[in-house]
Structure 1
């Protein structure tokens, strides 16, 4: 594929735009569906989207061979993402203001650098340590709404779920770092493996009768954009990119656009502590990127 930075930037901005809308979509959909119901419908829609893309790109034939090479790997990856990761994330959004759940989720890259030390044998640089301190200070400011002296959490379970979701997401990327299979077909295999797990969990612990059309519409939107097209657009951007660092920096636009949408569409009051904490997290991530 011929490298083209303008094309890469266009695809990256498209992915950023889609990711910027999902916090609002999560919050709206959770007023009609439970976290489990939302996960089931959005995962199903995402599977259909990815199947269509793989069919269009003539990659469906890779599915069987890739799965048979490493069936246990894909079953584990499917259990992590989308099943457990999105279940914890959706539940965190259900318990917390969307601005808190979203901002805490951005610490996943910092969690990744910590996890890479024991799992991949990486060493922490000075920049990594500064990023970790800034990132988790930002997370603490967001979780306590700036009340650092009393460390008062409005919903500690929601905060814990949001941070646990970052751990799962970091694990997913670390385990996938050694997977040399085609990325879109690998993502589809993870979703296909997770669907039976999600369906059984809904049948046992929730209500399979989902009658709200607004819930279906919202969950379909999440499956189409958050779980499906956004990842494809981002992977395409990376393929075209002459400089991946320029592309990856664009992701930092997303949380601020998302806060604006949360404020304007669902009327969520944005706390000053959220802005301060988010700036610290992003500052930490930018410092971490410095070689």
Structure 2
């Protein structure tokens, strides 16, 4: 009885930590948009990794954390490729072609991508009906993109699709590794693996004139460096490890809702009824996926 209660408490904690992570991630696309409006997408990607990497290195030294095992290195590389480099770079490039509100809708596909890699890399086996709800939420997102005229910005949409795929891989791989290495340790070591190359590129792509960058640009870069690239992952990976990759991963369906609200408030971007309808639709899928995740 005590074991069952402990298991339920752990799952509940997983959902709470996962929700906090999603809430912090929700500001990523609007904040990235603020940054890339005044800085190159490549520099934004590099700078956020460098800032978060230095913070991660400081924390690891402070707590005197032991180095990962050799067999954990490959997983850390996948996390770095998916979450430190792939998603930040591709999404930053995409925001040159689409609005942050449009890109946020694509994030409704992240739960499905995470669940797929959770099965492939994490060995989880959700109920078949789980996939019905997960796919339904993703189809709403894809349908909306085509309804808006995907040919209007094919480059931006393709970049977002690739970004989502890499991010799903990084989420699932990091969650699996968090069970043995620890949540904040996973993202910290992934950042440190990327740090030497990122530091070199940082000076190569450093802006010629810092005076043209406003407070909004620096604020956007600061947010994605601290919260999107480091702090958010501490809660997110812990939540995925506690409650299950496929189950807690569906909380990402809430991310477009929070993200659209922030895009409308910070960037004064138009949020159409179509966007709201799609967002509400994918949110309703959370209940179904939660019930059939195990």
Partners of 1:218 and 1:85 in 2: CA distance: 16
The answer (yes or no) to whether the contact 1:17–1:254 under 8 Å persists in 2 is: yes
Partners of 1:72 and 1:114 in 2: CA distance: 19
Alignment partner of 2:139 out of 134, 137, 140: 137
Q: Which moved more, 1:88-97 or 1:209-218?
A: 209-218
Instruction: List gaps (5 residues or longer) in structure 2.
Output: 1-5
> Against the structure 1 CA distance between its residues 163 and 286, is the aligned structure 2 distance closer, same or farther, given a 3 Å change threshold?
farther
Partners of 1:44 and 1:266 in 2: CA distance: 26
Partners of 1:104 and 1:119 in 2: CA distance: 23
Aligned partner of 1:79 in structure 2 is: 81
Give per-residue Cα distances to partners, 1:79-124, cap 9 Å, x unaligned: 3321122111222223211112112123122123345566667767
Q: Which moved more, 1:181-190 or 1:3-12?
A: 3-12
> Against the structure 1 CA distance between its residues 186 and 17, is the aligned structure 2 distance closer, same or farther, given a 3 Å change threshold?
closer
Task: Report the aligned-residue RMSD.
Answer: 3.7
1:181 deviates by 1.8
> Against the structure 1 CA distance between its residues 270 and 10, is the aligned structure 2 distance closer, same or farther, given a 3 Å change threshold?
same
1:284 deviates by 3.6
Partners of 2:34 and 2:291 in 1: CA distance: 37
1:172 deviates by 1.9
Partners of 2:254 and 2:189 in 1: CA distance: 30
1:263 aligns with 2:264: yes
Equivalent positions of 1:211-226 (< 5 A) are: 211=210, 212=213, 214=215, 215-226=217-228
1:7 deviates by 8.2
Aligned partner of 2:3 in structure 1 is: none
1:96 aligns with 2:137: no
Aligned partner of 2:282 in structure 1 is: 281
Partners of 1:91 and 1:32 in 2: CA distance: 13
1:254 deviates by 3.9
Equivalent positions of 1:163-182 (< 5 A) are: 163-176=161-174, 178-179=176-177, 180-182=180-182
The answer (yes or no) to whether the contact 2:15–2:243 under 8 Å persists in 1 is: no
Give per-residue Cα distances to partners, 1:214-270, cap 9 Å, x unaligned: 43442122111111122224456678x899999777655443232122112211001
Q: Which moved more, 1:278-287 or 1:218-227?
A: 278-287
Alignment partner of 2:45 out of 17, 39, 42: 39
Equivalent positions of 1:200-211 (< 5 A) are: 206=205, 209=208, 211=210
Alignment partner of 1:61 out of 65, 71, 92: 65
> Against the structure 1 CA distance between its residues 238 and 156, is the aligned structure 2 distance closer, same or farther, given a 3 Å change threshold?
closer
Normalised to the residue count of structure 1, the TM-score between the two structures is 0.77
1:209 deviates by 3.9
> Against the structure 1 CA distance between its residues 35 and 152, is the aligned structure 2 distance closer, same or farther, given a 3 Å change threshold?
closer
The answer (yes or no) to whether the contact 2:20–2:232 under 8 Å persists in 1 is: yes
Q: Which moved more, 1:260-269 or 1:226-235?
A: 226-235
Partners of 1:249 and 1:84 in 2: CA distance: 21
Instruction: List gaps (5 residues or longer) in structure 1.
Output: none
The answer (yes or no) to whether the contact 1:40–1:195 under 8 Å persists in 2 is: no
The answer (yes or no) to whether the contact 1:105–1:165 under 8 Å persists in 2 is: no
